[in-house]
Amino acid sequence: MRRNHPAGRLPEPPSPIADDGDETHFCRTCAFSGACIAEGYGKPELVELHCLVEHVGPFHAGEHIFRTGDPFRSIFAVRAGTVKTSMVDPAGREQVLGFYLPGEVIGLNAIYPDQFPCDAVALDTAYFCRFSFPAMSALATRMPAVQQRLFRLISKELGMATLLAGDHNADVRMAAFLTDLAARYEERGFSGTRFHLSMSRGDIANYLRLAAETVSRVLSRFRQQGLIELEGREMVLRDPERLRAIGKNLLPQ
């Protein structure tokens, strides 16, 4: 069967990177930047927040940021690249928990068990800000905006996990996945209609609790229906509104 787009590769999408921070300013897209803005720049606490940050990386595709069972000491904000978190269930099957883009935070689910309950693997070259969690907690007790930010980050992640746990068919899951990804790219200032999928079909399938073959079939059908353009891992959303409508049952609001 012929592909329904003209010959030739799609143009390169912009590369998502959020590393515009320095010693005294956060990356604009960082999940913690709101804490600063809320308090006003220049406060002495801000300097402290920066002091407890450590820049780490690069991690290359396939490298672990942390592993299941590692003692929980830090959370990580993605500065550049994409991360997959996953756990291996007692039957030895991998379960993908999430994908994380620049500006997002990984490691929050380690607070309760006090050790990482999952692996985090770079899907492409990735850089991070590492925040010592004890230090951040201590800071949070003096800086209500930081505490608020942490509560909201965890609570938001809880909301996402809840939605994914719902009972939805393959089309809904796939459309919601694409819409969510697009919204997150857009939120961070990247294109919300044109992006690179850093993860394999198998990872997407696993994340959505589908078989890889089902993901292939749904994507093929979406392409036939003119909802998307897709060549390899280069994605163009041709009809974001219909995608949103299809996935609405699984989307917030």
Partner DNA sequence: AATCGCGCTTGACGTATGTCATCTCTGCCG
Partner DNA sequence: CGGCAGAGATGACATACGTCAAGCGCGATT
Residues that bind DNA (CB under 7 A): 1, 167, 169-171, 200-202, 209-217, 219-220, 230, 232-233
Tell which residue, 131, 107, 105, 111, has the closest CA to residue 52: 131
* Those residues with Cβ within 8 angstroms of residue 151's Cβ, 6 or more apart along the chain or in another chain: none
**From 43, 60, 71, 151, residue interacting with a second copy (rule: CB under 8 A):** 151
- Verify binding: residue 11, a second copy, rule CB under 8 A: no
- Verify binding: residue 90, a second copy, rule CB under 8 A: yes
Give the sheet arrangement for strand 94-100, strand by strand.
64-66, 119-122, 83-88, 94-100
Q: Is the peptide bond before 113 cis (omega within 30 degrees of 0)?
A: no
> Cα separation of 220 and 208, whole Å?
17
Which residues within the stretch 56-85 sit at the binding site for a second copy (CB under 8 A)?
Answer: none
| Amino acid sitting at position 99 | F
- Verify binding: residue 121, a second copy, rule CB under 8 A: no
Q: Which partner from the list DNA, a second copy, none does 53 bind, CB cut-off 5 to 8 Å by kind?
A: none
What HEC string does 165-196 produce? CCCCCHHHHHHHHHHHHHHHHHHCCCCCCEEE
**From 4, 162, 220, 225, residue interacting with a second copy (rule: CB under 8 A):** 162
Q: Which partner from the list DNA, a second copy, none does 215 bind, CB cut-off 5 to 8 Å by kind?
A: DNA
- Verify binding: residue 88, a second copy, rule CB under 8 A: no
Per CB under 8 A, residues contacting a second copy are 89-91, 93, 95, 97, 108-113, 117, 137-138, 140-142, 144, 147-148, 150-159, 161-162, 164-167, 209, 248-250, 252
